[in-house]
Structure 1
Amino acid sequence: MVLTGAVRTSDSGHTRRRVLGTAGGLAGLVTLGGCGLFDDDPEPAPAPDPLRPVLDEALALAAAYDRVARAQPALAGKLTPLAEAHRAHAGELARVIGTTLPSGPAASSAAAGGADTTSALRRAELAAQKTAAALCRSAAAERAALVGSIAAARAAHAEALR
């Protein structure tokens, strides 16, 4: 036998369809809540750009050159163009990454080896050159040329500091 009329489940006026419909709607909300639709958790931070270490080293090297040039003014003519080259690299890397450069002077970094000498600059250049060369091997084609030229410049800077 098929019932086509509303069947009352209680004296309160609730029908079986209304009760089942409400239960189904609640089940749907619970399911949506479980999939994260109503979660208040923030999205995880995106992974840092692979070029970020090369950018950070460029800024640290420029700051290190500036420190050595201030400490040894006789070397400023030789060191200032190298610092400017690192700032140019940082600017291009920031453009490619889609970030802005810090407006103030770069913070002191271990990249300078802790000492304000040309030998510390040379060690920092060689370490930074290795970072750039390693990244060049794994970088996407459109980034590899930039990183490769930065690695070559860092090697040339290290030789200029001999």
Structure 2
Amino acid sequence: MVLTGPVRMSDSVHTRRRILTATGAIVAAATLAGCGLFDDEPEPEPAPDPLQPILDEALAMAAAYDLAIQAQATLAEQLTPLAEDHRAHAAALATLIGTVLPSGAAAPVASAAPPAGSADETLAQLRKSEQDAQTTAIAACLAAPADRAALVGSIAACRATHASALR
């Protein structure tokens, strides 16, 4: 038997072109949804730089020296270069991290009090702070990538020298 009329497979009008167009639209919508275009949530804050604690510590040490100089003016000649070293460390770290130092970067914190006691007690307190800061810098140096380890290592060495100079 010979068929001469059109053959219909179904009553729906789904052509290959319509199916491919619909599939492409679904894939495009899924891609856009996955890229965050339709997300209402803000992006999470980036993790702080691992060297930020070393920078904060350098600023705190410079402030501690400033307070000690205010409390013991006779120590100004000995302590001023050490405070300047810490400011230089903070500036180098801020450049490396890509942050800007706050204005009055090493200004004493309002809650910090000048060291009490004699000049020897002040030097002992600063020496202890330098030793603690050196320990932190050594740990950061060991954990830092090679391009940052040189700077952090030199800061650790400088802090060791400061502790020795305060004897």
Normalising by the smaller structure, the TM-score range is 0.7 to 0.9
Larger Rg: 2
Q: For 1:4-153, what aligned pairs fall within 5 Å after superposition?
A: 25=25, 29=29, 32-33=32-33, 36-106=36-106, 107-108=108-109, 116=115, 117-153=122-158
Distance 1:34 1:92, change over 3 A: closer
TM-score (norm 1): 0.78
Q: What is the root-mean-square deviation of aligned Cα atoms in Å?
A: 3.1
The answer to whether the 8 Å contact 1:60/1:109 transfers is no
Distance 1:80 1:23, change over 3 A: same
Residues paired across the two proteins, number: 153
The answer to whether the 8 Å contact 2:141/2:153 transfers is yes
The answer to whether the 8 Å contact 2:134/2:159 transfers is yes
SS in 2 for 1:65: helix
AA paired with 1:135?
A
Distance 1:72 1:2, change over 3 A: farther
CA deviation after TM superposition for structure 1 residue 87, in Å = 0.3
TM-score (norm 2): 0.75
CA deviation after TM superposition for structure 1 residue 41, in Å = 1.3
Q: Name structure 2 gaps, 5 residues minimum.
A: 1-5, 116-121
Q: Between the two proteins, what is the percent identity of the paired residues?
A: 57
CA deviation after TM superposition for structure 1 residue 35, in Å = 5.3
CA deviation after TM superposition for structure 1 residue 120, in Å = 1.6
